[in-house]
Amino acid sequence: MLDPFAIIAPVRDAEGHIADFEYAYANTAMAENVHLDCEALIGRRLLEVRPAHRSSGLFEMYCHTLDSGGATGPRRLVL
Amino acid sequence: VPLVLDGWFYEDEWSGELRVRRYDIRANRLDDALACTWRDVTPELNERQALEDRVLQQATISRLSRFVLGGAAEQQILDEAVRAVAEALHVELAKYLELSSRQDTFVLRAAVGWPKGLVGTATIPAGGHRSYAGYVISEGHPVSVQDMSTETRFTPTPLLVERGVASGLSVVVYGDHGTLGVLGGHSRTERHFTEDEADFLQTIANVVSAGVLRRRGEEEVAARTTELANSNKELEAFSYSVSHDLRAPLRAIHGFSKILLEDYAECLDDEGRRVLGIICANTEKMGQLIDDILAFSRLGRHDLQSSMVDMDGLVRSVADELMELEQGREVRIHIEPLPEAFGDLALLRQVWANLVSNALKFTAPKPRADITIDCDERAEDILYRIRDNGAGFDMRYVETLFGVFRRLHGHEFPGTGIGLAIVKRIITRHGGTVGAEGRENEGACFTFTLPHPPQGDDS
């Protein structure tokens, strides 16, 4: 099976801050990880589907990556 | 497109299930979006972990084996074994339960993760297979438990429950006949044990078994040796005191018989004098026997007074003295030059006296006695030889020659049967060996060896 893959697009608030991400594309493997079909996952919000992205810090890392770039070393987090 | 997130690990714990998966998460910027790949690296990590574990297990096994071969005591082996199990299985607790000789109790002999005070004192009953250890013995192969709280095959004992043990892996430590005990590793958090880990634990148990049996065997040999030495000493002390006590009454019998024979001979008839003569001869013989026993028992009780000994001169003087007593016989003694020896002069004199007088004694019936003494300087020791053309002996009895009171010949030759036993004992105490070869009526050859004198000692 393919590795889970998804393209997520930012959902920004009035001030331009990233409030959440939206699944623009997800393959079957990514969808199965959250027990959904691909069609059901596409269009859903990241923090709704996987709220732990915020508590784990992964959401922040995503925002940082998109807005300012820059690499981050290996980290361990639990979702 | 810049690579921005590298090497994120994601652990996915679906409710209730202990399934940990690890992902390498990469997010690449793609215009105003992120392309996220989650690569599952669980199998790679597991494989690497398994390989590392295998290496650690092998190293642990060889370290414990070296420890056993290095002569560690039984308790040290057990302590090292439980430590090794805890380390290599990555568990907080490990223990060795020894099965008592009556097979009814397990004793906690060694442990990691239990209070020190429990080691050597804590016991659990071994009857049936109600306990984990008992169940392992009844199964006879490694038994792994993932969740102690739902276990139905046996009832975990307080020893496990009180430590909050959740999972465990245990194997039997086998002895020569039956079971020595049970070796186990235990974890407070639930975990699964692999076949590899079971094999590893069984190997450790086998090393422990070999080590423990080896130590016990050595102890048994040492105990038996001490016992033997003690009983030998007792026997020597006994024969010494008995011989000593026998001498006084014997001297009285001999003395009074002599008085009868010398002062009252005319009151007796020929038969009376003959009988009295036999009594005297026998008391003399008995006196000689007692002296020999005393000499023999003394041999074991005194330290050697070793020095360099002029073996050549010693043999010649002993032979000359003994030849004095052999008047009227044709005796030819040929002595080859002998090198110096290192030993107790008085005792070595005794050896030669016994061997030469034996040779003279057993050549008596021959028209001419031919005795040759020589030696062979070998790499490992010096071999001395004395050959005669006397009565010889049957090689079938060679084993009994050097025993105490062993006499191959009847009364045609005088003697107490202790001479060769004395020779053997003296030579053995010098670190040498004795030997004999012979043929009936054709002669005998007695040999003994002595170690080479110590180097650099010119005294």
Indicate which of A32, A65, A67, A78 best probes the interface with B, i.e. most B CBs within 10 Å of its own CB: A65
Nearest to B399 by CA among B378, B429, B424: B424
Mean pLDDT of chain B: 86
Q: Residues, chain B, total?
A: 459
The one-letter amino acid code at B140 reads G
Q: Indicate which of B1, B3, B5 best probes the interface with A, i.e. most A CBs within 10 Å of its own CB.
A: B5
Instruction: Give residue-wise pLDDT tens across range B166-204.
Output: 999 999 999 988 899 999 999 999 888 989 899 999 999
pLDDT reading at B2 higher than 50? no
Over residues B416-434, mean pLDDT:
87
DSSP codes joined into one string, B389-413: -SS---GGGGGGTTSTT--SS-TTS
Task: Give CA–CA dist B174/A18, Å, rounded.
Answer: 67
Exposed e or buried b for every residue in B262-296, given b needs 16+ CB within 10 A? eeeeeeeeeeebeebeebbeebeebbebbebbbeb
Q: Does A11 touch chain B (CB under 8 A)?
A: no
Residue B280 near residue B261 (C-beta atoms within 8 A):
yes
Distance of alpha carbon A35 from the chain centroid: 15
Instruction: Please give the pLDDT value at position A14.
Output: 92
Rg (CA), chain A: 13
Of the pLDDT bands very low, low, confident and very high (cuts 50, 70, 90), residue A79 is: low
How do residues B274-293 score in pLDDT, each as one tens digit?
999 889 888 888 888 788 77
Residues in chain B within 8 Å Cβ distance of A70: 4
Burial zone of A8 (CB within 10 Å; 0-12 exposed, 13-18 middle, 19+ buried) = buried
Tokens of A39: 């069609």
Chain centroid offset of residue B154 CA: 42
Indicate the SS3 state at residue B214: helix
Which residues on chain A are in Cβ contact (under 8 Å) with B9?
74-77
Contact flag A74-B32 (C-beta cutoff 8 Å): no
pTM of the predicted structure, to 2 decimals = 0.53
For chain B, say whether A24 makes contact (Cβ under 8 Å).
yes
Whether A38 shows a pLDDT value over 60: the answer reads yes
Nearest-CA distance A54 → chain B (Å): 14
B57 pLDDT tier (thresholds 50, 70, 90): very high
What are the chain B neighbours of A7 within 8 Å (beta carbons)?
30, 33-36
CA-to-CA distance for B10 and B22, rounded, in angstroms? 5
**Residue A49 contacts B, CB cutoff 8 Å:** no
Residue B444 has which token pair?
């005998």
> Which amino acid is it at B152?
T
Taking residues B305-310, what's their average pLDDT?
90
Average pLDDT over residues B218-232: 87
String of DSSP letters for B53-103: HHHHHHHHHHHHHHHHHTT--HHHHHHHHHHHHHHHTT-SEEEEEEEPTTS
Inter-chain residue contact B27 with A61, CB threshold 8 Å: yes
What integer pLDDT is reported at residue B15 of this predicted model? 44
Phi, psi dihedral angles at B375 (to 5 degrees): -150, 165
Which of B13, B30, B36, B39 should be substituted to probe chain A, the one whose Cβ sees the most A Cβ atoms within 10 Å?
B36
CA-based angle B246:B251:B253, to the nearest 5? Answer: 100
**What pLDDT is attached to residue B91?**
95
How large a percentage of chain B has pLDDT more than 70? 91
Rounded CA-CA distance B182/B102 in Å is 15
**Residue B403 φ/ψ, nearest 5 degrees:** -80, 160
B339-386 pLDDT, tens per residue?
Answer: 999 999 988 998 999 999 989 988 988 888 999 999 999 999 999 999
How far apart, in whole angstroms, are the C-alpha atoms of residue A3 and residue A5? Answer: 6
A79–B6: do the CB atoms touch at under 8 Å?
A: no
Backbone angles phi, psi at B173, to 5 degrees: -100, 110
pLDDT at residue B229, as a whole number = 84
State the pLDDT at residue B294: 78
Say if residue A13's pLDDT is above 70: yes
For residue B44, pLDDT over 60 is answered with yes
Q: Report the half-sphere exposure of B108 (CA within 13 A, side-chain side).
A: 20
Of A69, A75, A79, the CB nearest to B29: A69
- φ and ψ at residue B294, rounded to 5 degrees: -60, -45
